[in-house]
Structure 1
Amino acid sequence: MAKLIVFTGGLATLKTTLSKQISKDLGILCLNKDDLKAVLVDHIGFQNREENKKLSVATVQAMIEISHQAKLAGQNIIIEANFKAHELKDILNKSGFSKQEIITIFLYGNPKVLYDRYVQRQHTRHIAHTSTGLLSYETFEASLKEHRLEDALGKIINYDTTIFNPGDYAVLKNKIESLLNQPNGGSHAL
């Protein structure tokens, strides 16, 4: 049975890093919102924040459609973004995957550590991801509250990325592999 693996959580929680490594190690196609949106911006561009937001919406909807095609083909797929609650509902309603076929990797961490990561990476970000400018700590911290564990779909792995090390990655990878091989599984915390 095909599975959909959803990596989500707030900014700077290592969603892209971890999803790409899992993709490589498990041989599963991974769609990263930031990468896809960067391609759209390179070819379409944007003039203001509102146009940038429209590209974000289009990117998420394209990811959902590709997930649906993977489901029809019987293939596992990983999607990664800081999905909002309404986008998670769209994933459930439009991807073709049932709750039992979805594994959510919900990433979180200490807000101060995450903010430091966020600030350090800003100078390397593609223009597609800088339309808000550098967020203040207060705005950043408030944005983390938009991502709630209770909105997560299917089988959930709750993963704290405040301090990340190779041993933590090995545990995460093993839990994902276990859930991929089990038709029924519960939630896990790391």
Structure 2
Amino acid sequence: MKKVIIVTGHHAALKTTVSRQLGSDLGLLVYHLEEMKDIIMHHDAINEDVNHNYYRKLALKLIKKLIVDTLEVQDSVIVDIPYLDVFYSPLVTLCKDHGFESVTLFMTGDADVLFKRYSQRAPYDVMFKRSDVILDILDFKDTWIPISPTLKQEHTIEVDTTTFDEQDYRILMHQVIDKLEWKLNDSSL
């Protein structure tokens, strides 16, 4: 069965780091919604004062098409998306409509730790600006919401990245492999 790994979760919860590492270790393509959005915006020569959600929706349409096309030639693909139902639900529907199996990695962690990680990594990112003022920890915590019932399903792995090291990653990778019942011949995994 064709498989889609959906990586989503809170800001600064290592979504992109984990999705890229899984892609590398498992030999899978990774489609990153925010990067696709940026490519489309760059192609359109758009400035930063636009509705990013419009371009995210365009990127989602492109990713959905790429998933279907990719799964015609390989067995699995990884998709990295923001934690919003407007992006998650269409991917779940796509999987159901095409008979693809999916597993969701919900990346989370302690809000204080995630805020510190985020502020060190990208203190001026658009997500945390309001009228050119960086959001404080209370505003950040407003964006930190628990996993939704929509995501709580049999094929969801909730990943706490408050402290997350190489051993935690290896455990997660084996959970993904087990969830998708992959048969891997690489004993190094």
- Once the two structures are superposed, residues 34-58 of structure 1 have per-residue CA deviations (whole angstroms, 9 ceiling, x without a partner) of 2222222322233455432211121
Which residue identity lines up with residue 136 of structure 1 in the other structure?
D
Match of 1:174 in 2: 174
- 1:130 aligned onto 2:126: yes
SS of 1:90's equivalent in the other structure is helix
Gaps of 5+ in 1: 183-190
Q: Which has the larger radius of gyration?
A: 2
CA distance in 1, matches of 2:111, 2:98: 32
- Do the aligned residues in 1 keep the contact of 2:81 with 2:88 (CA within 8 Å)? no
Count of paired positions: 177
- 1:104 aligned onto 2:100: no
CA distance in 1, matches of 2:51, 2:62: 16
CA distance in 2, matches of 1:4, 1:113: 29
CA distance in 2, matches of 1:78, 1:115: 26
SS of 1:66's equivalent in the other structure is helix
Shift in CA distance, 48/30, structure 1 to aligned 2, threshold 3 Å: closer
CA distance in 2, matches of 1:85, 1:48: 24
Alpha-carbon deviation of 1:75? 2.6
SS of 2:107's equivalent in the other structure is strand
CA distance in 1, matches of 2:42, 2:6: 25
Return 114-123 or 15-24, whichever deviates more.
114-123
Match of 1:188 in 2: none
SS of 1:151's equivalent in the other structure is coil
Alpha-carbon deviation of 1:149? 4.1
Gaps of 5+ in 2: 183-189
Alpha-carbon deviation of 1:92? 1.9
- Do the aligned residues in 2 keep the contact of 1:4 with 1:102 (CA within 8 Å)? yes
Shift in CA distance, 104/38, structure 1 to aligned 2, threshold 3 Å: same
- Do the aligned residues in 2 keep the contact of 1:4 with 1:101 (CA within 8 Å)? yes
Shift in CA distance, 142/108, structure 1 to aligned 2, threshold 3 Å: same
Which residue identity lines up with residue 147 of structure 2 in the other structure?
R
Give the aligned CA root-mean-square deviation in angstroms: 2.4
- Do the aligned residues in 2 keep the contact of 1:108 with 1:160 (CA within 8 Å)? yes
TM-score where L is the length of structure 2: 0.82
CA distance in 2, matches of 1:54, 1:29: 24
**Aligned counterparts, 1:21-170, within 5 A:** 21-47=21-47, 49-73=49-73, 75-95=75-95, 96-98=97-99, 101-122=101-122, 130=126, 133=129, 134-145=134-145, 148-152=147-151, 155-170=155-170
Identify, as 1 or 2, the structure richer in helix.
Answer: 1
CA distance in 2, matches of 1:48, 1:38: 10
- Do the aligned residues in 2 keep the contact of 1:49 with 1:132 (CA within 8 Å)? no
SS of 2:122's equivalent in the other structure is helix
